Amino acid sequence: MRKKLCSLALAAALLLAAAPHTRAAEGPLPDLGCTSAILIEKETGTVLAQLDPDRPLEPASVTKVMTLLLIMEALDSGRLALDEPVTVSANAAGMGGSQVYLKEGEQMPVQEMLKCVTVVSANDCAVALAEHLAGSETAFVDQMNQRAAELGMDKTNFVNCTGLPAPGHLTTARDISLMSRALLLEHPDIRAYTTIWMDSIRDGAFGLTNTNRLIRFYPGATGLKTGSTKGALYCMSASAERDGMELIAVVMKSPTTAQRFEDAKTLLDYGFANFALVNVWPDDPLPPVDVLLGQQAQVQPVLEDTCRLLVGKGERDQVETELVLAPNVEAPVENGQILGRLEVSVAGEPRDAINIIASQQVDRLTVPGIFNKMMQKFLLGR
């Protein structure tokens, strides 16, 4: 049964403030040294803290979160295979900045290039993969911007797939959180690469050490991507998971690399200290619902989805459910037909409602069937 991403409009109203910082009732927002930042919970997408999150800024190599998203989508759809060889073009080999020094004509499997992009932010591998997948980096960038629009990243414009400085190459902390969430939520296998601390390529001849030092030093770190240029300063999208809850902290334009990591840790610590995901279930088993004029006398109701609710840690014992269920329903009953709802409240405030549906189809009795049923009742009653 798929997880339900609960509707948290009321929760967001409690958690968000009109000021640039988002404050929660659990405690004060931590001080940050960066220009822009946001903290979200991955499963629900709820914003837990923010600092001027919609300011357009240069993302540097955090751009590669979108590059990785498109690559993972191609892998999952079968358009790309991990062992597929990629031939390096002169253009890809000529990329500056972070690289693994690919040579024109060199071949490397997708899996190795993917590792290089995630671990050491290799610009040459990013361009080689983009060209291999879309035919050219320009065509790949068009796909990046199209995907950004689909995700609601309305303040983002990508000019390249690497994050190397380019006029007009801008995004925001909020937009980065959207693509980071899509990558982690829809393609959890990316963690096999983003959690690598040290590795190598070319049969051990070239060593790799993750640019994201949180992978080594922050408990529960799962990724995601760092970036730095003269204009962007120090940026990152950092993710970590504890007690079944994964958070994403985006930091933009920190003055130093140390401050970037400190800001990310501060945001993640704040989220883990103040929030939790709780599973919501009915207090008692759902009773069967009588079916009038049905070929079966009853139908078993079930929850349409499971629900994990984001709450402040002080609210975990204040989650309550109320069952609203029809006493009976007239046939025919469709499989999945709504029979009621489970209303969820926190500290007396409505927070969510989960549909309760029929677990199977129940056909209506025919006229002969109704007659036979009446006769059976008559004979049994004698």
> CB neighbours of 47 closer than 8 A, spacing ≥ 6?
12, 15, 16, 22, 38, 39, 40, 53
Active-site residue flag, 237:
no
Active-site residue flag, 180:
no
For residue 350, whether the previous peptide bond is cis, meaning omega lies within 30 degrees of 0, is no
Active-site residue flag, 61:
yes
> CB neighbours of 372 closer than 8 A, spacing ≥ 6?
none
Hey, what amino acid is at 49?
A
Catalytic residue among 36, 61, 177, 180: 61
> CB neighbours of 124 closer than 8 A, spacing ≥ 6?
88, 92, 93, 94, 95, 99, 100, 101, 102
**Spatial CA neighbour of 162 closest among 64, 56, 58, 57:** 64
Catalytic residue among 121, 180, 228, 254: 121
State whether the Cα torsion 117-122-125-126 is positive or negative: positive
Catalytic residue among 42, 64, 115, 225: 64
**Spatial CA neighbour of 282 closest among 349, 328, 341, 339:** 341
The 3-4 sheet, strands edge to edge: 3-4, 306-312, 275-280
Hey, what amino acid is at 353?
A
Catalytic machinery residues = 61, 64, 121
